[in-house]
Amino acid sequence: MVQLNGKVAIVTGGAKGIGKAITVALAQEGAKVVINYNSSKEAAENLVNELGKDGHDVYAVQADVSKVEDANRLVEEAVN
């Protein structure tokens, strides 16, 4: 994989399953990763804590991406 230092990645469903694996891989390559969850708050927070202990820049944001307002807020929070 390419080094992703300085890049921001938003992973919807990023706390479990394939999304979790993608989140971990992106963080290991240096990306700031924003885990988007709708109802898996505990799983998202656990992954943020786990990756944060290794020095990775990872955040969790609750948003229902089927709603335009939530999707816009997710992107806004990710880039700021």
How much is the pLDDT for 1? 58
Say how many domains are in the chain.
1
pLDDT, the chain, mean: 95
Instruction: Encode pLDDT of 38-77 as tens digits.
Output: 999 999 999 999 999 999 999 999 999 999 999 999 999 9
CATH number for 18:
3.40.50.720
Determine the straight-line distance between the first and last CA of the chain, rounded to whole angstroms: 25
Report the distance separating Cα 63 and Cα 6, nearest Å. Answer: 23
Identify which of 67, 74, 73 has the alpha carbon closest to the alpha carbon of residue 12: 74
| Residue 1 belongs to a domain | no
| Residue 33 belongs to a domain | yes
Domain that holds residue 67: 8-79
Contact between residue 58 and residue 35 where contact means Cβ atoms under 8 Å apart: yes
- What's the predicted TM-score (pTM) here? 0.90
